[in-house]
Chain A
């Protein structure tokens, strides 16, 4: 049975070493858990400015260690000069299927005109956009690197203006409040990864607000312990149809 992890990172978490933060070790761990495909960004993209090098290295690492298993997801920072070239390379040179954005690490918000342009360009290139709503909870952040959650409310209007755009919110469940969650999922072009979903039988509860065709499996490994996401699939009673949608069908369709 396929199990697609839409949310992993290669390289090293910037603030401490964590288990499985080398590419071979991460692949081995994910495969041990039954994961059959993983969409990988790079932790380097959080703080590095030379994103061309980060994306090139990411693509090479995925090829070298995880061909057929790791899918590289490049990063573009629209606050940098000539970010359009980075986007073009992601699409045309590295043949990536998506972009992963960190708006609050890169200090722009979703009403920024540069983001709107990026959003439209990504859609034109057939890239869906992953937005990391948070990477680390506020309580453990380094005092000099306080990064708030991304405000995703502007996506409501932006999706109306960009009919071909598709968005996946990573690590979003603690940050996106119920009312906004309903409005985002109603667009039918936003997906949510489960890595930060909490509460007992969390998937079962969230399915009362968000249909299964909007949810995708994600571990946020290696910073998050990937077993957490795998166990969540067992914590709720799910139908085979729901489970298939969440674990692979929704991701495959993107």
Chain B
């Protein structure tokens, strides 16, 4: 789910919904967004997206690249979490 323009509110709204992940695109590259998402939801529930072409890849990637979180969490956010969900969806479709 998109975290909302006001991501400090959006992330709080998702805290109690463990089967929903937060997607990071669309907001300004302000400091602290990704750190709060990982702190409040856990790295497994945060997914990167670019919002291309409205946004810049630079601004959206910088949110994760520079976040004060472990590299393993960045790997999950930039790749593993979406891959896991996509693979699950594809398996469901095949069956």
Contact = CB atoms under 8 A, between A and B. Distances in A.
A224 B28 contact: yes
A134 B27 CA distance: 15
A201 B5 CA distance: 23
B32 A198 contact: no
Interface residues of B, number: 26
Of all A-B residue pairs in the complex, the 3 with the closest CB atoms, nearest first, are A139-B5, A231-B58, A228-B62
Interface of B: 4-8, 27-32, 35, 52-59, 61-63, 65-66, 68
A157 interface: no
How many A residues are at the interface, by size bracket?
20 to 34
Contacts of A192: none
B8 A227 contact: no
Interface in A137-175: 137, 139-140
A47 interface: no
Given A137-B5, A140-B7, A200-B53, A232 B59 contact: yes
B8 A140 contact: yes
Interface of A: 16-20, 136-137, 139-140, 196-202, 222-232, 234-235
B28 A202 contact: no
A229 B5 CA distance: 21
A225 B62 contact: yes
Contact of B62 (A197, A202, A222, A227): A227
Contacts of A229: 58
Nearest to A222: B31
B59 A198 contact: yes
A139 B33 CA distance: 14
Contacts of B7: 140
B44 to A, nearest CB: 23
A200 B57 contact: yes
Contacts of B68: 19
